[in-house]
């Protein structure tokens, strides 16, 4: 499979999720070309990725290399335009969230993808972590009564990491569409929707740029209610003072609580407590990428698609509206 990548100034090309690094470990795939409008960053990425062909114009790259599959990254402000071009040209692709800067942009992409029965995958990777697998198992067993609430905290290191990773545009609200809520928020919001299996509405939200004083928010909290009344609390930030994540994932039933914190899965019930390793066997970004490519190869719909992303972006926009009054 010949793969091309668009918008490689996005840090997930090489750092953090590092999709293009992980691609090299997937059998029968080849990264044939990469693109970014910043030529120096494209050259830098190419040197780290085995020297694929480099371009500053993704349309020219697609026309000249004709890849089998496209990984689309880049700035949120350009994502919807890129997605429309890929759909118009008939390319199957995986696109990083949030796929646009607001609900309307993502909805138009989703509508076109549905009309053309196109393959558009979105790597919302927290679905692949052990917490999610165990939660779904417990939900299927129906042992502990109704779900009561869901809680996520993801506080990542300072957003100074973005300029260090060649993505200073992440601090520009016009390019990024927001701060930590737009970028990190999709993970917890998607998992709330995925595990409850229901639609939801935002009932309260706050955003703050107090810690770092940047044009985009560095901390946010969102309150949710599902259609049947499950409550959710999502906290997202870029204020952790060192490498790593101040994080916790929790789902509570009437008679049990499952949590993930500091790499340990903990199930607390009326009968006691059990623990297990909570770290994935491999990076979840690799699992998400492999799963998407495998679905496309087998002629299946994407495991996580643009409509999943649309549901999340709708909640993000609701949260911004409430937080900003």
| pLDDT tens digits along 122-148 | 999 999 999 999 999 999 999 999 999
Q: Is the pLDDT of residue 160 over 90?
A: no
Share the mean pLDDT of the chain: 97
Distance (Å, whole) CA 87 – CA 64: 17
Do 215 and 185 fall into the same domain?
yes
Residues β-bridged to residue 178: none
Mark whether 167 and 36 lie in a shared domain: no
CATH number at residue 29: 3.40.50.720
Q: Mark whether 222 and 98 lie in a shared domain.
A: no
Closest CA to 20 of 32, 168, 119, 299: 32
Task: Give the pLDDT confidence score for residue 145 in this predicted structure.
Answer: 96
pLDDT of residue 8: 98
pLDDT of residue 242: 87
Pair 44, 132 in one domain: no
For residue 187, pLDDT over 90 is answered with: yes
Among the residue ranges 50-59, 161-170, 193-202, the one predicted with the least confidence is: 161-170
Instruction: State yes or no: pLDDT of 244 exceeds 90.
Output: no
| Cα(82)–Cα(76) distance, integer angstroms | 10
Would you tell me how many other CB atoms lie within 10 Å of the CB of residue 243? 8
- For the cut 90, the answer to whether the pLDDT of residue 212 exceeds it is yes
* Residue 297 three-state SS: helix
Indicate if 21 and 71 belong to the same structural domain.
yes
pLDDT value of position 295: 98
* Pair (93, 213) in one structural domain: no
Q: Are residues 52 and 119 in the same domain?
A: yes
Residue ranges of alpha helices (H) inside the chain are: 19-23, 39-48, 58-65, 76-89, 103-115, 130-141, 161-164, 173-176, 180-183, 185-196, 284-297, 306-324
CA gap 107, 30 in Å, rounded: 31
Can you give the pTM of this predicted structure? 0.96
C-alpha–C-alpha distance, residues 238 and 216, integer Å = 10
**77 and 162 assigned to the same domain:** no
Write out the residue range of the structural domain in which residue 23 sits.
2-123+289-302
pLDDT digits (tens, 9 = 90+) for 72-113: 999 999 999 999 999 999 999 999 999 999 999 999 999 999
Residue 113 shares a structural domain with residue 159? no
pLDDT surpassing 90 at residue 60: yes
Looking at residue 325, what is its pLDDT? 87
* Mean pLDDT, rounded, for 144-160: 94
> What percentage of the chain has pLDDT greater than the value 70?
100
Given this model, what pLDDT does residue 265 score?
A: 98
């Amino acid at each position: 499979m010949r793969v091309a990548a668009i918008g490689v100034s996005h840090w997930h090309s090489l750092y953090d999720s590092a999709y293009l690094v992980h691609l090299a470990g997937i059998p029968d795939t080849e990264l044939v070309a990469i693109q970014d409008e910043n030529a120096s960053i494209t050259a830098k990425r190419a040197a780290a990725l085995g020297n694929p062909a480099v371009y500053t114009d993704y349309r020219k790259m697609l026309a000249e290399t004709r890849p089998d599959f496209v990984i689309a990254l880049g700035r949120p402000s350009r994502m919807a335009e890129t997605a429309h071009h890929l759909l118009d040209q008939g390319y199957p692709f995986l696109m990083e969230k949030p796929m646009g800067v607001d609900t309307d942009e993502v909805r138009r992409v989703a509508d076109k993808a549905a009309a053309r029965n196109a393959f558009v995958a979105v790597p919302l990777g927290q679905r692949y972590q052990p917490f999610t697998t165990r939660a779904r198992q417990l939900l299927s067993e129906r042992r502990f009564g109704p779900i009561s609430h869901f809680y996520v905290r993801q506080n990542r290191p300072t957003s100074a990491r973005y300029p260090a990773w060649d993505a200073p545009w992440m601090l520009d609200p016009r390019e990024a569409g927001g701060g930590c809520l737009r970028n990190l928020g999709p993970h917890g919001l998607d998992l709330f929707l995925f595990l409850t299996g229901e639609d939801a509405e935002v009932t309260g939200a706050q955003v703050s740029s107090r810690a770092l004083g940047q044009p985009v928010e560095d901390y946010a909290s969102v309150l949710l209610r599902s259609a049947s009344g499950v409550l959710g609390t999502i906290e997202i930030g870029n204020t952790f003072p060192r490498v790593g994540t101040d994080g916790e994932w929790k789902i509570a039933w009437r008679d049990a609580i499952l949590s993930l914190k500091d790499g340990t899965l903990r199930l607390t019930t009326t009968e006691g407590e059990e623990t297990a390793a909570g770290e994935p066997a491999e990076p979840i970004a690799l699992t998400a990428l492999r799963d998407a490519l495998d679905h496309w190869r087998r002629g299946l719909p994407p495991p996580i698609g643009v409509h999943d992303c649309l549901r999340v972006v709708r909640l993000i926009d609701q949260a911004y509206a409430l937080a900003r009054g």
